[in-house]
């Protein structure tokens, strides 16, 4: 088993760059390691993860740098590429589709690009969805619109039927824009392709508005989404300040991760309490939400609660419902809090004006902002370079300002969430109310 300190010793010169294990520090302050021979990059957290699984150093999986290759695998003149978007919406989907098409056309001369409609369902012939021809003209202005021009869906689809369709349509590369579920699907499709001995590449561009995919840094569209969420928090602040005993609840998406709630709360200073799935909280007691809220409203006249949808699930009856893809359907924490707060204020004879905001779909359906738009384009370009070079069963991501190739199993196992001891959460606590949810 290798420890991080072993690697650090090696990185300081114990190995030469000719050794397959050779590591040297590329930038000592960033804690990233560049494997000279393979043009691969390692990071502390990856090394720790791998070391904790007891993987021998020689077998360390590493992240290959993204970018164009001198040798490509597919002949652009005969290559046909399919694009699909799956799962929930996210700002920037159309930017990614656009940039994939333009990169394939402009830099590689690939003219045959098609889109499958409504997620993996569009790859099942019997569902009867037409295939859309994606030309540079067709995609040139699509990034001005939110959502995805291809449509999306949830729900299990048979990888074998999908590969049948890819073969039937002569697809050489399938580009999947989707979240962890989509990438599990992409991995299964890749396995079916490998089992049949076919040369069809499957390359992913990871998508999640919740920003909870591990190993890829910030996901595209997230920054647009939390900026939009911040607008609702501001609106809630205006409303509650005008009311007598104003309490605002702004529910944002975030099934398992509270990044949208935290970043939106930090973007301006209108939130008093931020509730996220990663940090439990209680309603009752001196340090419980109800007492803190009552004090806040008594002192300042109003309060705004930013609530990630996955927060406080232990306080309400568990639901055994699942969505079409098998994701657990969350209990209605916002409804529960509204009820409890109303009862509590009534019991204390304290005036209350409740304002409830649920901007979830409004947040994720907007077009990407300028920064996300550029990020989407760069991710898409990296994905095209990887795909044309014959890479498969991988996604692209940006880590520490660098575009890399990440094997799909890395992004479908583990999770990325707000660390209760980390800088982000501590900043939220400093800028909002008491650390009640740490109890
Ligand atoms: N565990 C899984 N194995 C294979 N395919 C899956 C799995 N989960 C989801 N999928 C496929 O990925 C698609 C999108 O998954 P979903 O969980 O809804 O969204 P996301 O990709 O955003 O996580 C679904 O339509 C389904 O076909
Ligand atoms: O109503 P839908 O489409 O099922 O989406 C709701 C869910 O989608 C999300 O935005 C995440 O979607 P993905 O898992 O597809 O990325 C969650 O935050 C939210 O719970």
Where are the alpha helices (H) located in 80-221, listed in sequence order? 93-103, 136-139, 159-168, 180-195
Residue 258 annotated as part of some ligand binding site: no
In Å, how far are 206, 233, 412 from 213, measured between CA atoms? 8, 25, 8
- Report ipTM for this prediction: 0.96
Beta strands in 36-152 (DSSP E): 40-43, 63-65, 80-85, 112-116, 131-133
Residue with the larger pLDDT of the pair 437 and 23: 437
List the strands of the sheet with 302-308, edge to edge. Answer: 273-275, 302-308, 246-252, 353-357
Q: Which is it for the CA torsion 320, 321, 325, 331, positive or negative?
A: negative
User: How far is Cα 167 from Cα 148, in angstroms, rounded to an integer?
Assistant: 25
Whether residue 188 has its Cβ less than 6 Å from ligand 1 = yes
* Atom 3 of ligand 2: nearest residue by CA position: 88
Task: Give mean pLDDT, residues 381-391.
Answer: 94
Task: Give mean pLDDT, residues 352-357.
Answer: 98
88 CA distance to ligand 2 centroid (A)?
Answer: 5
Task: Identify which of 253, 309, 310, 364 to mutate to test ligand 2's pocket (most ligand atoms within 8 A of the CB).
Answer: 253
Question: With 60 as the cut, is the pLDDT of residue 284 above it?
Answer: yes
User: How far is Cα 42 from Cα 215, in angstroms, rounded to an integer?
Assistant: 11
Determine how β-strand 402-407 pairs with β-strand 394-399: antiparallel
> At 220, is the pLDDT very low, low, confident or very high (cuts 50, 70, 90)?
very high
Query: What is the reported pLDDT for 137?
Result: 98
Question: With 60 as the cut, is the pLDDT of residue 128 above it?
Answer: yes
Q: What percent of the chain has pLDDT over 90?
A: 69
Q: Which is it for the CA torsion 188, 192, 195, 199, positive or negative?
A: negative
CA 391 to chain centre: 22
Residue 144 annotated as part of some ligand binding site: no
Candidate from 37-46, 115-124, 209-218, 347-356 with smallest mean pLDDT: 37-46
Question: DSSP letter at 395?
Answer: E
Task: Give mean pLDDT, residues 242-270.
Answer: 96
Residue 208 annotated as part of some ligand binding site: yes
210 tagged catalytic? yes
Domains 4-220+368-399 and 225-361+420-432 are alike in CATH topology: yes
Give every CB contact of residue 100 below 8 A, 6+ residues apart in sequence.
Answer: 81, 83, 113, 175, 205, 380, 383, 384
Contact 85, 102 (CB under 8 A): no
In Å, how far are 40, 91, 145, 179, 212 from 366, measured between CA atoms? 36, 6, 7, 18, 20
Q: Which ligand is nearest to the CA of 91?
A: 2
Query: What is the reported pLDDT for 219?
Result: 95
Task: Tell which atom from ligand 2 comes closest to the C-alpha of 309.
Answer: 20
CA 198 to chain centre: 30
The domains of the chain are located at: 4-220+368-399, 225-361+420-432
Whether residue 181 has its Cβ less than 6 Å from ligand 1 = yes
239-278 burial code (b ≥16 CB/10 A, e <16): bbeebebbbbbbbbbbbbbbbbbbbbbbbeebbbbbbbbb
Mean of pLDDT over the chain:
86
Contact 41, 60 (CB under 8 A): no
User: How far is Cα 206 from Cα 84, in angstroms, rounded to an integer?
Assistant: 12
CA 401 to chain centre: 17
Shortest CA distance to 113 belongs to which of 99, 93, 92, 95? 99
User: How far is Cα 367 from Cα 145, in angstroms, rounded to an integer?
Assistant: 5
Task: State the burial class of residue 320 (Cβ atoms within 10 Å of its Cβ: 0-12, 13-18, 19+).
Answer: exposed
Whether residue 255 has its Cβ less than 6 Å from ligand 2 = yes
Catalytic pick among 95, 210, 270, 372: 210
Candidate from 39-48, 90-99, 341-350 with smallest mean pLDDT: 39-48
Residue 399 annotated as part of some ligand binding site: no
Contact 84, 75 (CB under 8 A): no
Contact 109, 384 (CB under 8 A): no
Shortest CA distance to 403 belongs to which of 101, 66, 42? 66
Contact 104, 68 (CB under 8 A): no
Task: Identify which of 325, 330, 408, 416 to mutate to test ligand 1's pocket (most ligand atoms within 8 A of the CB).
Answer: 325
Q: Which ligand is nearest to the CA of 158?
A: 1
Domain 225-361+420-432 has CATH 3.40.50.460: yes
> At 116, is the pLDDT very low, low, confident or very high (cuts 50, 70, 90)?
very high
User: How far is Cα 202 from Cα 86, in angstroms, rounded to an integer?
Assistant: 14
Please report, for the chain, how many H helices and E strands are present, in that order.
14, 15
| CATH of span 4-220+368-399 | 3.40.50.450
């Amino acid at each position: 088993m290798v420890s991080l300190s072993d690697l650090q010793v090696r990185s300081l010169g114990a190995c030469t760059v000719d050794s397959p294990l050779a590591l040297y520090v590329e930038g000592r302050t960033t804690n990233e390691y560049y494997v000279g021979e393979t043009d691969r990059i390692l990071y502390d957290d990856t090394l720790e993860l791998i070391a904790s699984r007891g993987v021998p150093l020689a077998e360390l999986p590493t992240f290959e740098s993204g970018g164009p290759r001198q040798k490509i695998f597919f002949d652009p003149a005969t290559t046909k590429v399919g694009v699909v978007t799956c799962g929930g919406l996210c700002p920037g989907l159309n930017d990614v589709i656009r940039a994939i098409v333009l990169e394939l056309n402009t830099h590689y001369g690939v003219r045959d690009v098609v889109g499958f409609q409504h997620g993996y369902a569009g790859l099942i012939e019997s569902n009867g969805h037409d295939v859309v021809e994606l030309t540079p003209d067709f995609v040139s202005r699509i990034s001005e619109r939110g959502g995805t021009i291809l449509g999306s869906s949830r729900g299990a689809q048979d990888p074998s039927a999908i590969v049948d369709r890819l073969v039937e349509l002569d697809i050489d590369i399938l580009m999947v824009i989707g979240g962890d579920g989509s990438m599990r699907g992409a991995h299964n499709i890749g396995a079916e392709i490998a089992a049949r001995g076919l040369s069809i590449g499957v390359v992913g561009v990871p998508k999640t508005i919740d920003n909870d995919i591990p190993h890829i840094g910030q996901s595209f569209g997230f920054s647009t989404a939390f900026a939009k969420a911040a607008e609702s928090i501001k609106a809630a602040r205006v409303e509650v300040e005008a009311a007598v005993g104003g309490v605002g609840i702004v529910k944002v998406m975030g099934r398992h991760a509270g990044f949208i709630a935290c970043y939106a709360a930090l973007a301006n200073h209108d939130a008093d309490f931020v509730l996220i799935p990663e940090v439990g909280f209680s309603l009752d007691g001196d340090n419980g939400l109800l007492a803190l809220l009552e004090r806040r409203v008594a002192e300042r006249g109003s309060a705004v609660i930013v609530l990630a949808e996955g927060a406080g699930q232990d306080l309400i009856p568990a639901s055994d419902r699942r969505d079409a893809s098998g994701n657990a359907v969350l209990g209605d924490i916002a409804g529960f809090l509204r009820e409890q707060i109303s009862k509590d204020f009534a019991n204390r004879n304290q005036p209350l004006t409740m304002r409830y905001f649920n901007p979830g779909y409004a947040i994720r359906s907007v077009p990407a902002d300028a920064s996300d738009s550029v990020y989407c384009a760069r991710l898409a370009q990296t994905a095209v370079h990887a795909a044309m070079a014959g890479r498969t069963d991988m996604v692209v991501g940006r880590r520490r300002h660098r575009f890399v190739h990440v094997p799909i199993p890395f992004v479908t196992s583990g999770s990325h969430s707000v660390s209760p001891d980390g800088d982000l959460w501590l900043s939220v606590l400093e800028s909002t109310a008491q650390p009640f949810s740490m109890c």
